[in-house]
Amino acid sequence: MRVLVIGSGGREHALVWKLRRSPRVQALYCAPGNAGIAADAECVPIAADDLPGLERFAREAAIDLTVVGPELPLTLGLVDRFAAAGLRAFGPTAAAARLEGSKAFTKELCHQHHVPGAAFGVFRDPADATAYIREVGAPVVVKADGLASGKGVFICPTVAEATRAVDELMRGRVLGDAGTQVVVEEFLEGEEVSFMALSDGTTVLPLATSQDHKRVHDGDRGPNTGGMGAYSPAPVVGPALHERVMREIIEPVVHGLARQGTPYVGVLYAGLMVQGDRAKLLEFNVRFGDPEAQVLLVRLRSDLVDLLERATAGRLAGASVDWDPRAAVCVVLAAEGYPGAVERGRPIAGVDEVTEAVVFHAGTRLSDGALVTDGGRVLGVTALGDTTREAVEAAYGAAARIHWPGMHYRRDIGHCALARGAA
């Protein structure tokens, strides 16, 4: 089988790494890829949002299956375009990808299907959003309606901070068109969990649980990022809660979309807030999480090609997933200044010294044969362990051997699981 992966981050490196291990994959490409991906796949210089260029390459290279990593090409309609051209791509159509492309669409859909979540209001006028914030009080969460690379969520402890977030999004346009419309939500307390499942439009097959760490600093402080690390499994989700999430959140949305004539095919990622024996939906994403993909894919024993192919062909019924029982932990190494502006081109040392973990590349490139930084999240160091603590120790031991000027990372990835284990 000839496979194309679209994207250039750590998630895409993890996908390529796992696909390369399938005996069914004869040729593997990635567009555009990065310096680490180039060791496992042939990188082609086509941007992830260049839909005509990607279709042309898929035709010329006789690609059998395209795996879409990031959300942007999905919301732009890559799957629709490929289907019209007789090409097979894993992921939702543009209509179904509105689950991530528009938070307002998702809130209304979930309200219609009684999915538990935060109380909310949707606004196109900043004055109306401000009036609502003053009415409900703080704390609240202000979200850009459109895509914002994980940076469109503002947790606001005070009314002043919430109104400032509205001003920045809607008047200052700090995130461009993503902030044309905003959602203001009730602030939910609890433990955040990532819950992903494969869907073929009818059947839903849950994947292992994981937990991301969004804030840039230890102790869940500082601004939100695209993710500073993850671990799997997430012990806060026991069997009873797992079944409840499927019944109350995942299945109602998949089946509701199917009844509306918009079958959802791909990975459905629910960000959940867990408190006690209940979970509420924070948001949906329409692709593998990043860095959650890294910890899931190192634990996955099943052939990823088989699972993706069954999903695209509507044949998930009866399928199962085999997981490594060990825990996995990913620590993201970031560039100075992230999640703000970063300087690129700083030389990276020590990656070749790591043997007890897998180093997934995110923002890297080669410059005159040397590995250098090329983004905010640069590397994801991912390790397995018989316990979460052993996986944490292995990941941090490996991370300590990698360095470049200005590198920073959280020192407490997995703290919720460790605290739960100690308790």
Q: Are 279 and 244 in contact (CB under 8 A)?
A: yes
Query: What pairs with residue 236 in β-bridges?
Result: none
Whether residues 43 and 64 fall in one domain: yes
The residue segments making up the domain with residue 263 are 191-312
Q: How many domains does the chain have?
A: 4
Evaluate if residue 378 carries a pLDDT over 70: yes
Split at pLDDT 50, 70, 90, the class of 140 is: very high
Is position 129 within any domain?
yes
Residues 261-281: tens digit of each pLDDT: 999 999 999 999 999 999 999
Report pLDDT for 193: 96
Evaluate if residue 423 carries a pLDDT over 50: no
Is position 104 within any domain?
no
Whether residues 276 and 296 fall in one domain: yes
- CATH number of the domain within which 19 lies: 3.40.50.20
Report pLDDT for 148: 85
Whether residues 341 and 397 fall in one domain: yes
Written as one letter, the residue type at 35 is A
Quote the mean pLDDT of the chain: 96
Six token digits for residue 196: 């992903």
Report pLDDT for 411: 97
Is position 114 within any domain?
no
Is position 101 within any domain?
no
Whether residues 204 and 169 fall in one domain: no
Euclidean distance between the first and the last CA atom of the chain, given in angstroms as a whole number: 48
Residues 390-399: tens digit of each pLDDT: 999 999 999 9
Is position 338 within any domain?
yes
Which of these three, 155, 186, 217, is where a domain ends? 186
Whether residues 293 and 218 fall in one domain: yes
Residues 409-421: tens digit of each pLDDT: 999 999 999 988 7
Report pLDDT for 237: 96
Report pLDDT for 57: 98
Residue with tokens 């998949």: 254
Evaluate if residue 187 carries a pLDDT over 80: yes
3-state secondary structure the chain: CEEEEEECCHHHHHHHHHHHCCCCCCEEEEEECCCCHHHCCEECCCCCCCHHHHHHHHHHCCCCEEEECCHHHHHCCHHHHHHHCCCCEECCCCCCCHHHHCHHHHHHHHHHCCCCECCEEEECCHHHHHHHHHHHCCCEEEEECCCCCCCCEEEECCHHHHHHHHHHHHHCCCCHHHHCCEEEEECCCCEEEEEEEEEECCCEEECCCEEECCEEECCCEEEECCCCEEEECCCCCCHHHHHHHHHHHHHHHHHHHHHCCCCCEEEEEEEEEEECCEEEEEEEECCCCCCHHHHHHHHECCCHHHHHHHHHCCCCCCCCCCECCCEEEEEEEECCCCCCCCCCCCECECHHHCCCCEEEECCEEEECCEEEECCCEEEEEEEEECCHHHHHHHHHHHHCCCECCCCECCCCCCHHHHHHHHC
Sheet holding 358-361, edge to edge: 211-212, 229-232, 327-334, 377-385, 358-361
Model confidence pTM above 0.75 = yes
Whether residues 160 and 197 fall in one domain: no
Q: What is the mean pLDDT of residues 226-237?
A: 96
Q: What is the mean pLDDT of residues 119-137?
A: 96
Which of these three, 128, 155, 186, is where a domain ends? 186
- CATH number of the domain within which 136 lies: 3.30.1490.20
Report pLDDT for 151: 77
Which of these three, 253, 285, 312, is where a domain ends? 312
CA 165 to chain centre: 23
- CATH number of the domain within which 222 lies: 3.30.470.20
Residues 190-215: tens digit of each pLDDT: 999 999 999 999 999 999 999 999 99
Measuring CA to CA, which residue among 413, 223, 237, 389 is closest to residue 330? 413
Whether residues 276 and 235 fall in one domain: yes
Report pLDDT for 367: 95
Q: What is the mean pLDDT of residues 19-31?
A: 98
Separation in Å, CA 351 to CA 3, 10, 21, 403: 27, 15, 21, 8
Residues 324-372: tens digit of each pLDDT: 999 999 999 999 999 999 999 999 999 999 999 999 999 999 999 999 9
Whether residues 208 and 286 fall in one domain: yes
CA distance 365 to 140: 39
Q: What is the mean pLDDT of residues 281-301?
A: 97
Is position 319 within any domain?
no
Split at pLDDT 50, 70, 90, the class of 149 is: confident
Split at pLDDT 50, 70, 90, the class of 422 is: low
